Chains A and B, each alone.
Chain A
């Protein structure tokens, strides 16, 4: 049975939904193992057992977070060899993709990013060129490295839980030699909203919000959604750059994408047109966003969004 190694980097107190998704996929492909970096809290350990993880690997070095990517890739390469894994799964974040990239070179393994589904034979499905094609790709090497997008599967615990066998993986002494050191790290204040890349629902604003994201934030909070923005809105300084969706920002594929005051230039559409359902609110009936919206409202977002927020609250009593 194939050994499938899931890399989980600094899970914190509780495993993220995307990590549970990776464990669910791992179980469908073979015998799941986890290479963890960072502290192992009780809730995380319990979740690993509930999801059927057989082996748990932890690094001999505690300073992997002090460097950019290189040492994490060295650790993961050692873990793959220790576990004798043939498939490696990571999340699809920028950093995890880079760990996967370097791991691929270290192991001579093919890396496929932005994966949304994996067949039992390791064939990975993804969409390319801004969602205009779906492709099936496969690594031609003994080891396959896949970075999987959030919201790709529904997390499901194993039928029978396990008590993973824990072992330490020796991180090579040379791992940090040619790596950039992180000399300062400032946590950003948490918004309390879901992470944009993982959110099931996104409310995104553009030029039409004219500096006022308030009505979008209210609607997002009523829906449990993340806030996104077009480049016009982030360039204007109305909202942080990390909210940017589109070709030069994040590519997202939520269940529901509500676009408000965004004309839908092709670069913006590129970032979100794999969303399952698209809703658009824009004053300009000629906006290209209406060409791809499942439900479009020609109207003033400052009227429509607050009314929708009130209605949601009313229906929920």
Chain B
């Protein structure tokens, strides 16, 4: 089977993150492979390994859309175990909203499925930068695929896919037929780390760079001109400052209630 895993190069949440430039796009200097995408990659690897892996002709393609640095998310995916990498990069893509991003990714998926069809598109539950969770659903809509989002377990029997979803009010079991789009939560597995063997093996793997012309997308369909939303202004929120800090001397619970009463929270 052929699985595409979408991987995103996102600003490391360990550091302060910034918007930059006139279009208020995210500054990606201190970026890493989005943590939530590692679960999708692991799920893909487990699916092909259970079926004989690469030796049996199965493959996992890590696909990332983004500026030059995004190739690092693809490289890391190859080190973890993806079979091949694809980097969708074009100047015109900068500043794409979810709609434009899903358009470009849908075209890339179609392009990658031109010779042999793609069985499964796997994504993380959200990116850790935009966090809108719009792209998986929009990609499914554009590709006319059943979407199975927020899967906390995933089983595949032939072309029948069964997943568990753990919502707030209820847990669900859902079924879909391949090809499908699946997004997974951080409950689905424990992602593996790249080991020395993986890092060495990754050096021999191919990373294909695709531009918009390769996937048949006109530059006007993406970026700010192809986006359906525009950020008009952005303001850095004043950093929160520490308030009153006390050390418990046996009456801190009462002082806490005094504070809540003063805040009219009781």
Contacts and interface: CB of A to CB of B under 8 A. Distances in A.
Contacts of B180: 180
Interface string B140-162: 11101111111000000000001
Interface stretch (B56-64, B73-81, B164-172): B164-172
B96 interface: no
A133 B234 contact: yes
Interface in A232-287: 241-242, 247-248, 251, 255-256, 266-267, 270, 273, 277-279, 281, 285
A112 B229 contact: yes
A307 B254 contact: yes
Q: Which of B147, B227, B247, B256 has the most CB of A within 10 A?
A: B256
B99 A255 contact: no
A298 B248 contact: yes
A139 B167 CA distance: 30
B231 A297 contact: no
B129 interface: yes
Given A130-B17, A133-B19, A304-B248, A98 B175 contact: no
Nearest to A132: B237
B133 interface: yes
Interface stretch (B113-121, B191-199, B258-266): B258-266
Chain B interface residue bracket vs A: 35 or more
A113 B244 CA distance: 34
A contact patch SS: mixed
Interface in B116-141: 128-138, 140-141
Contact of B13 (A135, A247, A256): A247
Contact of B234 (A68, A134, A248): A134
Interface string A217-238: 0000001000000000000000
Contacts of A110: 97, 99, 227-229
A132 B17 contact: yes
B174 A182 contact: yes
A242 B18 CA distance: 29
Contacts of B128: 247-248
Nearest to A93: B168
A266 B14 CA distance: 6
A195 B168 contact: yes
B232 A278 contact: no
B265 A277 contact: yes
Interface string A291-309: 1111111111001111111
B242 A292 contact: yes
B176 A180 contact: yes
Contacts, number: 267
A296 B146 contact: no
A180 B146 contact: yes
A188 B141 contact: no
Contact of A130 (B13, B97, B232, B247): B13
Contact of B146 (A73, A133, A178, A309): A178
B148 to A, nearest CB: 5
Contact of B248 (A102, A135, A300): A300
Nearest to A139: B229
A70 B146 contact: yes
B186 interface: yes
B254 to A, nearest CB: 5
Contact of B141 (A101, A292, A315): A101
B141 A106 contact: yes
B248 A196 contact: no
Contact of B233 (A136, A178, A187): A136
A94 B150 contact: yes
A109 interface: yes
Interface stretch (A40-48, A121-129, A155-163, A204-212): A121-129
Nearest to B259: A295
Given A98-B147, A102-B138, A267 B13 contact: yes
A136 B250 CA distance: 46
B230 interface: yes
A131 interface: yes
Q: Which of A95, A267, A308 has the most CB of B within 10 A?
A: A308
Contacts of A91: none
A73 B144 CA distance: 13
A296 B102 CA distance: 44
A197 B244 CA distance: 27
Contact of A105 (B102, B256, B263): B102
Nearest to B174: A180
Given A73-B141, A251-B131, A139 B237 contact: no
Interface of B: 11, 13-14, 16-19, 24, 26, 35-36, 97-99, 102, 128-138, 140-142, 144-150, 162-163, 166-176, 180, 185-187, 227-237, 240-248, 250-257, 259-261, 263, 265-266
18 contacts: A68-B148, A94-B150, A97-B134, A101-B135, A101-B141, A132-B16, A133-B234, A137-B231, A140-B229, A180-B147, A184-B172, A188-B168, A285-B247, A297-B252, A298-B247, A299-B247, A304-B252, A311-B253
Given A181-B175, A279-B259, A307-B252, 18 more contacts: A70-B147, A98-B137, A101-B138, A102-B141, A109-B228, A132-B18, A135-B231, A185-B170, A241-B166, A247-B128, A248-B35, A285-B245, A291-B242, A295-B244, A295-B259, A297-B256, A299-B248, A309-B253
